[in-house]
């Protein structure tokens, strides 16, 4: 696929036309307040993963509405003092996987918490273990239109709330240094990362890779690749509901969370990415509030982005923060 979006010089100046709801902050403050009415009840159970350099814990904590959410906590074997913490979120359709997967961050001497995504974990990887017990109005197959009739019902209200509670759960472990918390993720995980960065004020660094869930007004009309296409296919059947859908999505647009980012950030973008078009990523990057920000541009890559090359870039970058 050749370049299909704006030229790079225009991307660097691009601003989203997504309109932020007037009650955006109040909506999220109320949502998180309701979640915190339930005890976090984070439980860490050691599992035998057959590893000698990394210890793995099966984690359960209370997410949205107190519903149980799973995760893995991985620690360098033999750690006795609190460690810098990386909280990671996974891509669309994936789950937390198996205990022996995703060993990079623990191998750097950090604590690594990987959140399972409710209702997902059946499309790729080692699977997931968290149900989404909430019903919804008619939706297109997938997750993008579940509960899209109203912000209060939308699927990502539950996911973003889970993610904030995941940070709280990870920080509650005695070997996690809460003062040195980094959040990261790719694609859907990158979008969740941006949401958390806008809702958790005291992170030390943020690393969203080719983030999804950014600049909905442009994304749903620019690309016909899934998952964004789920929204268009829903509206193809439910004619006349575009304004209602736009209103719901505005509460979950990562551009608005980025405008509240209070920590240094390293983004990545791929200029041939049709899943998360470059302009939508730059929309979030250009909105990022903290002055200490950078973006790695992968000129001839699709949604794989920088892959292991970007992992190396993040490792170099994070040496300054955690």
Is 253 marked active-site?
Answer: no
Q: Is 215 left (phi over 0), alpha (psi -120 to 50) or beta?
A: left
Q: How far apart are CA 95 and CA 114, in angstroms?
A: 9
Is 303 marked active-site?
Answer: yes
Distance set, CA 120 to CA 15, 127, 128 (Å) = 31, 8, 6
Q: How far apart are CA 86 and CA 73, in angstroms?
A: 10
Of the residues 187, 215, 253, 279, only one is catalytic, namely 187
Residue 190 near residue 208 (C-beta atoms within 8 A): yes
Strand partners, 62: 68
Strand partners, 185: 89, 208
> In sequence order, what E strands does 90-196 have?
111-115, 176-186
Of the residues 38, 226, 290, 303, only one is catalytic, namely 303
Q: How far apart are CA 228 and CA 234, in angstroms?
A: 11
Is 273 marked active-site?
Answer: yes
Of the residues 162, 273, 279, 310, only one is catalytic, namely 273
Question: At 283, is the secondary structure helix, strand, or coil?
Answer: helix
Burial of residue 22 (CB within 10 Å: 0-12, 13-18, 19+) is: exposed
Q: How far apart are CA 220 and CA 279, in angstroms?
A: 12
Q: Which residues are catalytic?
A: 187, 273, 303
């Amino acid at each position: 696929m050749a370049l299909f979006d704006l030229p790079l010089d225009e991307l660097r100046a691009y601003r989203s036309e997504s309109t932020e709801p007037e009650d955006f902050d109040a909506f999220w403050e109320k949502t998180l307040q309701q979640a915190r009415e339930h005890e976090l009840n984070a439980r860490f159970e050691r599992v035998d993963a057959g590893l000698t350099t990394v210890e793995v814990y099966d984690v359960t904590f209370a997410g949205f509405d107190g519903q149980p959410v799973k995760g893995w906590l991985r620690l360098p074997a033999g750690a006795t003092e609190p460690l810098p913490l990386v909280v990671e979120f996974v891509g669309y359709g994936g789950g937390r996987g198996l205990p022996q997967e995703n060993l990079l961050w623990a191998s750097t001497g950090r604590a690594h918490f990987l959140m399972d995504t409710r209702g997902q974990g059946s499309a790729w990887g080692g699977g997931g273990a968290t149900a989404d017990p909430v019903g919804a109005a008619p939706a297109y197959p997938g997750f993008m239109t579940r509960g899209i009739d109203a912000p209060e019902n939308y699927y990502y209200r539950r996911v973003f709330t889970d993610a904030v509670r995941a940070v709280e759960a990870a920080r509650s472990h005695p070997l996690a240094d809460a003062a040195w918390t980094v959040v990261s993720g790719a694609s859907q995980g990158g979008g969740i990362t941006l949401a958390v960065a806008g809702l958790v004020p005291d992170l030390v660094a943020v690393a969203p890779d080719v983030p999804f869930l950014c600049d909905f007004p442009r994304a749903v009309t620019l690309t016909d690749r899934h998952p964004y296409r789920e929204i268009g296919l829903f509206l193809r059947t439910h004619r006349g509901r575009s304004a209602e859908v736009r209103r719901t999505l505005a509460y979950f647009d990562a551009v608005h969370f980025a405008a509240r980012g209070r920590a240094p950030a390293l983004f990545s973008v791929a200029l041939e990415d049709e899943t998360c078009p470059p302009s939508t990523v730059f929309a979030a990057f250009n909105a990022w509030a903290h002055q200490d920000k950078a973006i790695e541009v992968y000129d001839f890559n699709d949604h794989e982005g920088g892959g292991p090359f970007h992992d190396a870039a993040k490792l170099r970058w994070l040496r300054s923060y955690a």
